[in-house]
């Protein structure tokens, strides 16, 4: 019998070794993470029938979902032709070209908090991807040690400041 685990491990090693890019002026390098490996095998003396892995690629505008699909297929085909791949792209990378909206947000954050925000694209995938084609968007919100974790929490004062910031941004933008 052919054990699918070593083949899958070879594929994953090839994927992790191959750099996607070096980043851009506004974006960090694209990143591939292995998020799950499973064979569904509870026995220690049975070769599994199949092995699956899940990966996540956080990518910058140097790539599209289509170009990454081609890249993945090339990498996997270099190891084996016996594979099945399901690919879901939850959103394309984008950069907000609105310097006016950035300036408004920066000014309002400074007025409310006394701090100047750092304009960055390091936050990962944003829900803004769903509306970016309809209006200018920025992602701005709470930051904390528990973000995206079980039992995530945030300081009530931060929520109050965010509410004030969002209101002032909307008033300034539509003034």
User: What is the chain's pLDDT, residue by residue, as a tens digit (175 residues)?
Assistant: 899 999 999 999 999 998 999 999 888 899 999 999 999 999 999 999 999 999 999 999 999 999 999 999 999 999 999 999 999 998 888 887 778 999 999 999 999 999 998 888 776 667 788 888 888 888 887 777 887 788 888 889 999 999 999 999 999 999 9
The HSE-up count of residue 59 (CA atoms within 13 Å, CB side) is 22
CB atoms near residue 23 (< 10 Å): 14
pTM: 0.76
Cβ 139 vs Cβ 126: under 8 Å: yes
β-bridge mates for residue 33, sequence order: 56
Cβ 93 vs Cβ 59: under 8 Å: yes
Give the number of residues written for the chain. 175
Q: What does the alpha-carbon distance between residue 156 and residue 146 come to, in Å, rounded to a whole number?
A: 14
């Amino acid at each position: 019998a052919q054990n699918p685990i070593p083949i899958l491990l070879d594929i994953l090693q090839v994927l992790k070794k191959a750099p996607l890019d070096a980043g851009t002026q506004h974006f960090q390098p694209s990143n591939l993470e292995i998020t799950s490996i499973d064979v569904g095998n509870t026995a220690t003396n049975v070769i599994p029938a199949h092995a699956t892995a899940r990966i996540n690629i956080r990518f910058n505008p140097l790539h599209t979902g289509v170009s990454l699909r081609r890249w993945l297929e090339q990498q996997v085909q270099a190891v084996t032709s016996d594979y099945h791949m399901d690919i879901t792209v939850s959103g394309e990378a984008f950069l907000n070209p609105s310097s006016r909206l950035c300036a408004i947000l920066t000014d309002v954050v400074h007025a409310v908090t006394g701090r100047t925000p750092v304009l960055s694209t390091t936050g990962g995938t944003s829900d803004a991807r769903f509306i970016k084609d309809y209006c200018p968007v920025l992602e701005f919100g709470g930051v904390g040690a528990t973000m995206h974790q079980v039992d995530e929490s945030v300081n009530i004062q931060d929520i109050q400041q965010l509410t004030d910031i969002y209101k002032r941004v909307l008033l300034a933008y539509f003034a």
